Chains A and B, each alone.
Chain A
């Protein structure tokens, strides 16, 4: 019985996380973080190369 309750709790946490993640993605898109990520990733990351 305890195992079943624990499994139901895990299931609820998992679905809540999925909803939270989708909400975060939408919030980020609303705040135009997509273009911030795109601009940053299109510029050559000199730090990553070791030139800064």
Chain B
């Protein structure tokens, strides 16, 4: 079974492409947009087939002043099963960040000291301010919305192009700032900003899908941290709340001591394969 995870980890980019296409497959949008997708994929995208969970939470909690049981349940179910696995495998905006990071510019490795800021974004822009103002304030500033919704609509619709004003240019500037940051640092939006990642992060240590390190065979080479897109010390805490389950560490570990496992009642039955 571990061979399968190695095989799959090498093909993660294919899964990301298929996910981006599937989440934006358009055809069924008239009914499937009632389903929140397990990724930050803007439902303003002309081709979006599913709802953005963060936009939906803001709408139900903010505009309707109801507890978003349905959306939180969907997000919680995904988190309880795979933690932040969707960030690493399904999120189109996460994939976009990985593509931008491939640009040949000097790179900057930032520590995780301030990555609690994503919880502040979740609390302030997704919950508190939308409830007070009844406006979806995270959406107003979201760079994923600009990329997937704002730019395509302005390109394809002459009517919408006429409505472009200062706020649109501000959103483009926010996206531009993030693109510059993405080109030098791996997945900055996921690490410091994403409120969906903030909802899933606390579920990583208790998710069913998990990583485990065989400390007897680990040679402490730190290769896992070097290849980790969110810069975590996998050999010390394989189920860190920041981990996006991309399995780069599993693929690259020279002593093959990092394995995928399923949370089970007994330790003996823990390792998958």
* Chain A residues at the B interface, C-beta cutoff of 8 Å: 3-4, 7-8, 10-11, 13-14, 17-18, 20-29, 31, 33-38, 40-42, 44-52
Which one of B50, B70, B146 lies within 8 Å of A33 (CB-CB)?
A: B70
Please state if B208 and A37 are interface contacts (CB–CB under 8 Å). no
Which one of B34, B69, B142, B164 lies within 8 Å of A48 (CB-CB)?
A: B142
Instruction: Tell whether A25 pairs with B73 under 8 Å between CB atoms, given A36-B60, A37-B34.
Output: yes
Instruction: Tell whether A25 pairs with B140 under 8 Å between CB atoms, given A7-B270, A40-B51, A50-B146.
Output: no
Please state if B55 and A41 are interface contacts (CB–CB under 8 Å). yes
Please state if B145 and A17 are interface contacts (CB–CB under 8 Å). no
* Chain B residues at the A interface, C-beta cutoff of 8 Å: 29-31, 33-36, 42-44, 48, 50-52, 55-56, 59-60, 63-64, 66, 68-74, 76-77, 79-81, 135-136, 139-140, 142, 145-146, 149-150, 153-154, 160, 163-165, 167-172, 203, 205-208, 263-267, 270
Please state if B70 and A51 are interface contacts (CB–CB under 8 Å). no
Please state if A51 and B55 are interface contacts (CB–CB under 8 Å). no
A41: chain B residues at CB < 8 Å are: 33-34, 43, 48, 50-52, 55-56
Please state if B60 and A49 are interface contacts (CB–CB under 8 Å). no
A47: chain B residues at CB < 8 Å are: 135-136, 139-140, 145
**Which has the most chain B C-beta neighbours within 10 Å: A17, A21, A23, A25?**
A21
Chain B nearest Cβ from A9, distance in angstroms: 9
